[in-house]
Structure formats: C-alpha cells, structure tokens
Structure 1
Amino acid sequence: MNHVLYGLAANPSLPSELVDRLIAVADADLGCDLAARTDLSRAQVVALAARGEEIAVRLAHEGRLTADDVDPVTQPYAALALLAEGAGRPEWARLLAAHPITEHREKLAACPTLPPDVMETLAADTDVRVVAEFALWTTPEEAARLAGHPHAEVRRAVAANEATPPAVLEMLITGEGLPPAQRCLVCDREQTPFVHHPHCPRPDCDLPPGAACDGSHQSTVHETQHMALLNPATPIDAAVRLADHPSMLLRSALAARPNLPPPVCEQLAEDPLPAVRADLAENPAIDDALIRALAADRGHDVQRRLAHNPNVPLDVLTHLAGVTRTGPALLPRIAAASPAEVAKLANSPNPGVRMLLAARRDLPAQIRDALAADPDAKVVKSIAPHPGLSETRLRAMVARHGIRVVTKVATNPDASSTLLEELTRHEPPVQKVFREVARHCNATAPALLACLADRQARPIAAGHPALPPPVITELLTDNDWQVVEAAAANPSLSPAVMAELMP
C-alpha cells in the first residue's frame, strides 16, 4: 500500500495533470479516495469510474455519473447505485429483478420508484431476504399486502417500514386480523423447538443470539413488535397495549415514544428496571409531577437522562446538576433558556449549574466574560472554547487554572498564534494540547514543530498548511503511515515534489 499516493489523492492542491496520472494507476482503494475530490472534470469522473465498479458505485451515489455512463450488464452494482438514487432506467430494474445473484435482487428491492411489474416480481421472489428488503421500503399498499405474508421475517420488515398504514401496524403488534405466520428464519434452518445459543460455535451460522422458535416464531414476533414500537407511524393506542409486556426491550421502546398517555407514563415510572425508567425520563411526554418524581430516582442513568429532557424545569435541573454527571453536551433546556433564565443561571451558587450554562456558545458578552473569570475550574473549562473571548481573558484562565483548562483554551477559535505557541511550551505539558494546537487554523510553524514531537499530534500536524514545505517533504518518509498520508495530503506540499512522487 503506497500511503504517499493515498495522501496525494486527497491533496486539494494536486494539479489536474497529476490527478490524471493517479487515475491511470488507481486500484479500488486509491480510486475511492480520488472519487472524494470535488475538482474532478467530467472526463476524469468517467475515466475514474472505468477503473473499477466499487469506484463507480461511489461516484453514482454522489450524483456524478449518469445512466449513459453505466452498463447494467457489466456494472450491475453501479446500475443499482443509480437506481437507488432515482437516476437509473426502468429497463435496468427489470433486468436486475431476474438476476440470478440474490444480493443484486436484494439491493434492487431497496430502490425507490420501481415500475409496478418489478415490484410484483420482487414481492414474489423465492428468497425471503429479497421480499423482506422490499417490504422494508415499499409503498403503503404493498406493505399492507405483505403484512399477511406467510414468512414472519417479511412481517418484521413491514413493521419497520414507516410507510406502513397505522391500522396494519396495529395488527402486527397485536396479531389480530392477520393469519398466523407459517415460517421464520429459525424454523427454516433448525428442527423446532430451538433456541440459538448466544455463543454459537458454528462459523457459518448467522442467526442472532437468542433466536428461538417453538412453532410460534416467538423471537421474530418479538422483533416485529419491537420494530412497530420504534415506528413513528404506529398508533399510540396500539403501542400502549405492550406496557405490561415481560420484555424490557419492548417496555423501553414504549417508554421513549412521544404522546404517551399520562396513566402509561405513571405505570412505566414504576417499572422495576432502571433502563425503562431512564428511557421514560428523557421523554418530553412526561408531565411536571412525574419529572419531579424521577428527579429523586437513583436508578442507573435515570437522573442523567432526565437532565436531557427538554421540558425539565430549571429548579429540577439545578438539583440534577449537583447529583449526576450530565456530560459535556449542551442540554436542551439550557439551550432553550430565555435571556432572563440565562442571567439567573449565571448567578447560580451551584458551579455545576454555571458549568452547564457555559456550554452555550451564544452567551451575551457580559455573562460570557463573567463565566470566564469564574473561580471554579470546571466552569472555566466549559466556557473556554466560547468565541469572542479576548486574549487577555484566555491567558488569565491559563494563569489561574493551569493544566485543568489549557486544552480547552487551545480549542478557542480566537486563540492567537502567539498564545498557541505558548500553550505548547506549558509546564507541565498537557498531551491533549498538542492535538488541539495541531488542528487549529491559527497555529504557526513553531507551534506545529512542537506538535510533531507528540506521537498522537504528529499525524494532525503533518497535514497543517502552515507547516514549512521542507518539513512536509521530510515527513513523507516517516515511519508512521498516518504521518506520511497527512504530509502527502498537505496543500502546502511543493508541486515539484508532488510530481516526483508520481508513479
């Protein structure tokens, strides 16, 4: 594997004539890297597609090939890619619907706007995998028809199809109004009753762990109900019928559904398994009383998930900030806080609350600067990446809190080149700083040279355009292939050197 060529293929400064030379020698991997370029001419796209069907498939999915560029007989995967993008020809669909390779028919079954005769052919395919794939993506009419298919795997796919009519989804949940399924993937292959061992030793077995059939196709029926609960088109009146189901997986899926009736919410809030209560805690459907009850729930992940509920009251969120870790992400309720609420949060005596507010990146300058001067390091760490902070304030953060905040200061988009250089010389050194400086647009050559000394930052720094060209050239022979590729992809690499590297 020539990592220099892979890097050159991604280099935005590679001259067009050198792109041609790479196309002429491209294998599937190099060709796919070249296919990601946005500067390819029409002639280059066609020439690149001819280098291999895997490359043509990528170009087709990106809308850079037309039907005139593809032969469905010699390039069936490329033809399928165009059909999947709605850019293929109807006659291709008819040809591929009769293809002896099951995978081709299965891929075709997922394509939109197929001719009616092709849809009929796929729905009657002899391989259940093809019919199931068709059922997953087909029209409401076809989905309703396939809901009564004798194979349970097809019904499971219908339950996952968001185009399936609500009344049909209700029947798939309850089993009422449909003839019993006759087969499933388990009884297709095994003598029933059978339960698949979770650590099956057979290398050729693709049944999922726990797959079971005693004649009722129970594991596939369970999966069908689960798919229906995850389907937003399923009527809530049908979904709540599974509130008492012994399966935790089904109760958890129900707990996450919007528009849950209050009595069902209350029932699930008493569920013996914390996983179900945690899914419910994040659901915007729960009311204020239930939110406050769940705020005292010490079950695993319940309080953290409740903090991510967009409707959690600020006083409850203030409590949660003191009893659970919410993670670095901006919480929905904090993001939606009004100006008055922002001011109140900024003055909270709880540093955990101020830290949550500091995750916003649109704070008024006065509040932003006040949080930057906060005495608590975790608040400062959270506000440090906020745009608009002056260099004086960024330096003050580092002087006051040191290694606890330097990495986040290095991510600030307004960090100056001089400050970034100083951060690479910080004592004691912080390894993550080098990675952040190496990817910063304001990093200078001295800072990047320091980053090259760090093993994890080295590949990032090797691709930075501010790196001196002689250093980039030297890195082309590095022992680390990631560094070699990054250096070859560096837009500041000399065109003369690029030409010398060509095969």
Structure 2
Amino acid sequence: MKHVLCGLAVNPALPCELIGRLIAVADPDIADALADRAGLSHDQAVDLAARFQDSAVRLAYEGLLTAADVDPVTQPQAALALLDEHSGDPEWARLLARDADVERRAKLAACPGLPDDVRETLAVDSDIRVVAELASRTTAELAARLARHPHTEVRRAVAANEVTPPEVLAMLVTGEGLQPAERCLVCDSEETPYTHDRQCPRLDCELRAGAACDGSHESTVHETAELALRNPATPVEAVLRFAEHPSVLLRLQLAARPDLPPEAAARLAVDPAPGVRADLAENPAIGDTLMRALAADRDHDVRRGLAHHPRVPLDVLSRLAATVRIGPTLLPRIAAATPAEVAELSASSDPKVRMLVAARRDLPAAIRDALAADPDVKVIKSIARHPGLSETRLRAMVERHGVRVAAGVAANPDAPAALLEDLARQVPPARKALREVARHPRATGPALLACLADAQARPAAAGHPALPPPVIVGLLADDDWRVAQAAAANPSLPAAVMADLVP
C-alpha cells in the first residue's frame, strides 16, 4: 500500500483535498514523494515541512519555504538549506556557528555569503572538518590565510577552491614560501608510519582509502596536488613539473588541463600509461600535429579519446571510425560540422562514417531521407530516431532490418500511433522496442496493453495516461511494486479511486 500512496503523491491529477489528507498520514517515504510533487502550494509545503525535517530541506531548496516558515532551533537543517540559498536570516548563521552538532557547523561552513564574523568563528572551529569545509568554499582573502593552516586537510580544501588566488595555489603545489604542514588526519589518529587498509573493517573509521603518513603526510600532500591540478585557477607553470611525476593520477590531471602548453603535451603523448595519453587525446589544447600522431596510437582508448576531440580533423576522424568502437553517438566534431562537411560525410563510402553523421538530429531533409534508405544497419540504427522521418520511411526500416532497428524506430518522436501498435505486436516481441513504445507520448491503449507483457516495459506502460482506466486500477494490486506505484501516479486513474486509496 505504501508504494501506491507514494505514486499518488506525485500524481499530477490528485485533487487538492487529497494532498492534505496524504500529508496528514504520510511516512518519510510518502513525504519524500510529496516533496517532489510539482505544484505543491505554499501552505501544503509548510504543513509537510512541519512534520518531516528531510522534506523541509528539499522544500527549502525548491523555494517553497521562506525564512518566516522556518525555526532554526527546531528545524536547523531547513535553516541551513535557506542559508545555502541566500534566503536565510544572517542571525541564523551566528546561532548555528556554535551548534553542538559538527555536521551542522560543517554544512554552515559550506554556505555562501556568510557574515564576516561567522566565517572568522568557523575558521578557528575545534573540528578540522569544519575549517576544511570553510576553506573549500570561502572568499579569496580567507582562502589565502587558510593556505598557511598547519593542518594538511585545510590546505587540501584550499587547493580545491576556485577563488583561491593563483599565487597561493602555486605555493600549495610547490611548497615555496610555505611552512611544512604539522598534521594530517592520519597522524591525528594513528601512530606513524601508518598506511590505512583499503579494506578497513572498522565501522567508525573516517580515513580515506589509501591514506598514509610517515611524518610527511604524503597521501594528503598528493591529494592536494591532484586538486590543484584540477583547479582552473592554478597557474599551469606551477604544475608542469608533474609531466614526469611517478604518480599516474597526477599525470592524468595534467593531461586534461585545457591550458596545457605544447611542450608538456608532447611529453605526455609518449607517456607509458594509456589513460594519460587517452585524456590528452581528448584535450582541446592539443593541435593537429599531435592529434595525427595520437591517431596511430596502439591503444584503443587513446584513439577513442581522440575521436571525441572537438577539433579532430575530419580525415583523421574518418580513419578512426574504422578502428574505434563509437556506436551511434553524436561526437563533438560531428555536431560542429558545417553543412558542406555534413554533405561530404553523409556521402562517405564507409558506413561507419555515415553512421556518425546520422547521429545528428538537425540534418537537412534530403540528407536525412537518404540516410534513412541506407543499406547498412549501423546507419539505420543511428538515423532511426531523427525527427521528421515519414511513416513510410520508418516502416521501410523495420521491413528491411527487423528487430535490430525496431527500438530506434519506436523511439522516433514522429512515430505514428498505428506504427507503434504494430511494433508492440511483433512476433516474436522486440523487447527493447516495447520499452520505447511504453514511454512514447503517441502510444495508444492497444499498444500499451501489449507492452504490459514485458517485465521491463510494464512499469512505464502502467504510468502512461493512454492506458485504459480499468486496466490502471487493476495494476494497483500488481505484484511488482514499481508497476503499482506507476499506476497510482497515472493521471488517468479515476479520481474516485484516488479518494478511496487515501486513508
């Protein structure tokens, strides 16, 4: 019964008076569903928030609660959500900065726009987790101060903060001008040297996997460098030293930086780790010469990364199509192709190249229709979902290629109801096609009844508004809770039945 009530909670056709009754009898699961409901009124939101803290948080983030609706003493989580959304009372921040619950103080530290005095209070909090959370989100000025904090956890957080001044980030990476850190989470709790077991059985252990300290806080120092490499504000000059670092993780981060200079890219192009070369191959910073060299790389993932490069030369991409498993995916370079390039690609003698351009959904009608008549099934699977295809062309695809393209045809937004019915009645059934039919807005009752025979299509069909109401009512008692919940959420469920279901 709970699943049915959860479905009713999100049913767009649920009468207003039944929403109030549901709120009155809700448990946490039903409350979660009600909080997700579109069109919940302010009064309903206030009633729901008064009963459930978790729902209050979600409703606050969705803008359905105001500061006047929340008591920071009895609803601290909702108050924090409003502060996070710049909608809370600044006095709440002063109150919560001294909250006995460290998790709440840490959540407060992550809120933007805190008063200066609150930030100063949090910067000297007794729990390093609170200070670190503040460091990751705070202002440039305070981040620069916290970069000199004696604890590596705080420095690590500063390295992730994108408003940290570039010169401070460089200092964190190089260590120049910075006193060595005194503590880390490992030596706070363990006698060093110590390496944390990745399969640690202790339920109360909060150390990260692989955490280690021999007195140099090495794992956190490594993580700080990794976060600084990801940070776009870190000057590239400060991180070039990592091109030959023994850590693959650090070289991976460097290879992905969009400001990577050519000389560093050239070094990484011969990196022994294929993952580094693959990330480099996808990096918009590299030029044609390096792309052509990487196209000959023996590793498949490197060539696949290059295929996803936004500026890969089309002749290189055409060669890659023959050796790389791409599938009917719209590649960035194909999406950016000019009309002349689209015409050239669509006329390629290689069906894998034609497949790539068929993944676009804005093709000129003549090119779209020509690809829809392509003899290669890979091309047809790629073009089948393109809008604008006529019923005749869609039916011809199914006649020529059968079950291999049925799902793509069923997912076409312009597939007519009669075609969807025929696809749903295929013998033997095309299971993937049934799932697409069950989700299609043009699906009819007869088509949806056929979809109910498939276990995976059944929940989507149960929630489709074209399903006959008597069938929807029957599905409320289905053995599969997903089906029962979807039926309860179906807007075609009769209002009288809804009323009978709500206690």
TM-score, normalised with respect to structure 2: 0.99
Read off the aligned partner of 1:195 and give its amino acid letter: T
Asked if structure 2 preserves the Cα contact closer than 8 Å seen for 1:137 and 1:161, the reply is: yes
- 1:442 is paired with a residue whose SS is coil
Partner of 1:316: 316
Q: Give per-residue Cα distances to partners, 1:395-438, cap 9 Å, x unaligned.
A: 00001111111110000011111100101122332111111000
Partner of 1:399: 399
Partner of 2:487: 487
- Report matched runs for 1:215-254 at 5 Å: 215-254=215-254
CA distance in 1, matches of 2:158, 2:41: 43
Partner of 1:459: 459
Asked if structure 1 preserves the Cα contact closer than 8 Å seen for 2:328 and 2:355, the reply is: no
Q: Give per-residue Cα distances to partners, 1:337-366, cap 9 Å, x unaligned.
A: 000000000000010000000000000000
Q: Give per-residue Cα distances to partners, 1:438-482, cap 9 Å, x unaligned.
A: 000110011000000111111110000000000000001111100
CA distance in 1, matches of 2:21, 2:155: 51
CA distance in 1, matches of 2:322, 2:248: 30
CA distance in 1, matches of 2:421, 2:269: 53
Partner of 1:437: 437
CA distance in 2, matches of 1:129, 1:342: 53
Q: Give per-residue Cα distances to partners, 1:189-214, cap 9 Å, x unaligned.
A: 11111111222222322222221101
Partner of 2:284: 284
Partner of 1:193: 193
- Deviation (angstroms), 1:45: 1.5
- Deviation (angstroms), 1:54: 0.9
In the alignment, structure 1 residue 416 sits paired with structure 2 residue 416: yes
CA distance in 2, matches of 1:189, 1:497: 59
- Deviation (angstroms), 1:51: 1.3
CA distance in 2, matches of 1:41, 1:75: 20
- Report matched runs for 1:347-386 at 5 Å: 347-386=347-386
CA distance in 1, matches of 2:230, 2:328: 27
CA distance in 2, matches of 1:288, 1:484: 56
Asked if structure 1 preserves the Cα contact closer than 8 Å seen for 2:128 and 2:153, the reply is: yes
CA distance in 2, matches of 1:373, 1:198: 55
CA distance in 2, matches of 1:425, 1:452: 11
Partner of 2:496: 496
Partner of 2:62: 62
Read off the aligned partner of 1:225 and give its amino acid letter: A
Partner of 2:125: 125
CA distance in 1, matches of 2:400, 2:38: 46
Q: Give per-residue Cα distances to partners, 1:261-318, cap 9 Å, x unaligned.
A: 1110000001001010000000011111100000010224100010000010000000
Cα gap change, 1:114 to 1:49, in 2 (>3 Å) = same
Partner of 1:262: 262
Q: Give per-residue Cα distances to partners, 1:184-236, cap 9 Å, x unaligned.
A: 01111111111112222223222222211011100000000000000011111
- 1:426 is paired with a residue whose SS is coil
CA distance in 2, matches of 1:482, 1:125: 46
Read off the aligned partner of 1:484 and give its amino acid letter: A
- Cα RMSD after superposing both structures: 0.9
Asked if structure 1 preserves the Cα contact closer than 8 Å seen for 2:2 and 2:30, the reply is: no
CA distance in 1, matches of 2:328, 2:224: 36
CA distance in 1, matches of 2:242, 2:327: 32
- Deviation (angstroms), 1:27: 2.2
CA distance in 2, matches of 1:328, 1:104: 46
- Deviation (angstroms), 1:241: 2.0
Moved more, 424-433 or 399-408: 424-433
The count of aligned residue pairs is 503
CA distance in 1, matches of 2:79, 2:201: 38
CA distance in 1, matches of 2:146, 2:25: 48
Read off the aligned partner of 1:340 and give its amino acid letter: A
Read off the aligned partner of 1:171 and give its amino acid letter: M
Q: Give per-residue Cα distances to partners, 1:57-81, cap 9 Å, x unaligned.
A: 1100111101110111111111111
Read off the aligned partner of 1:452 and give its amino acid letter: L
Partner of 1:474: 474
Cα gap change, 1:43 to 1:118, in 2 (>3 Å) = same
Read off the aligned partner of 2:501 and give its amino acid letter: L
Partner of 1:180: 180
- Deviation (angstroms), 1:31: 1.4
Asked if structure 2 preserves the Cα contact closer than 8 Å seen for 1:27 and 1:51, the reply is: no
Moved more, 122-131 or 208-217: 208-217
- 2:441 is paired with a residue whose SS is coil
The sequence identity of aligned pairs, in percent, is: 70
Partner of 1:138: 138
Partner of 2:50: 50
- 1:355 is paired with a residue whose SS is helix
Asked if structure 1 preserves the Cα contact closer than 8 Å seen for 2:300 and 2:324, the reply is: no
Read off the aligned partner of 1:402 and give its amino acid letter: G
- Deviation (angstroms), 1:28: 2.2
Asked if structure 2 preserves the Cα contact closer than 8 Å seen for 1:403 and 1:428, the reply is: no
CA distance in 1, matches of 2:107, 2:231: 22
CA distance in 1, matches of 2:41, 2:189: 51
List gaps (5 residues or longer) in structure 1. Answer: none
- Deviation (angstroms), 1:328: 3.3
CA distance in 2, matches of 1:58, 1:191: 42
Cα gap change, 1:399 to 1:452, in 2 (>3 Å) = same
Asked if structure 2 preserves the Cα contact closer than 8 Å seen for 1:66 and 1:87, the reply is: yes
- Deviation (angstroms), 1:33: 1.1
In the alignment, structure 1 residue 83 sits paired with structure 2 residue 77: no
Read off the aligned partner of 2:288 and give its amino acid letter: D
Which 4+ residue blocks in structure 1 deviate beyond 4 angstroms? Answer: none
CA distance in 2, matches of 1:365, 1:239: 49
- 2:402 is paired with a residue whose SS is helix
Asked if structure 1 preserves the Cα contact closer than 8 Å seen for 2:372 and 2:397, the reply is: yes
CA distance in 1, matches of 2:172, 2:332: 35
- Deviation (angstroms), 1:43: 1.5
CA distance in 1, matches of 2:150, 2:206: 21
Read off the aligned partner of 2:24 and give its amino acid letter: A
- Report matched runs for 1:4-83 at 5 Å: 4-83=4-83
- Deviation (angstroms), 1:320: 0.4
Moved more, 483-492 or 34-43: 34-43
CA distance in 1, matches of 2:454, 2:404: 19
Asked if structure 2 preserves the Cα contact closer than 8 Å seen for 1:437 and 1:443, the reply is: yes
Asked if structure 2 preserves the Cα contact closer than 8 Å seen for 1:275 and 1:300, the reply is: no
Read off the aligned partner of 1:395 and give its amino acid letter: R
In the alignment, structure 1 residue 274 sits paired with structure 2 residue 261: no
Cα gap change, 1:170 to 1:356, in 2 (>3 Å) = same
Moved more, 105-114 or 233-242: 233-242
CA distance in 2, matches of 1:273, 1:330: 27
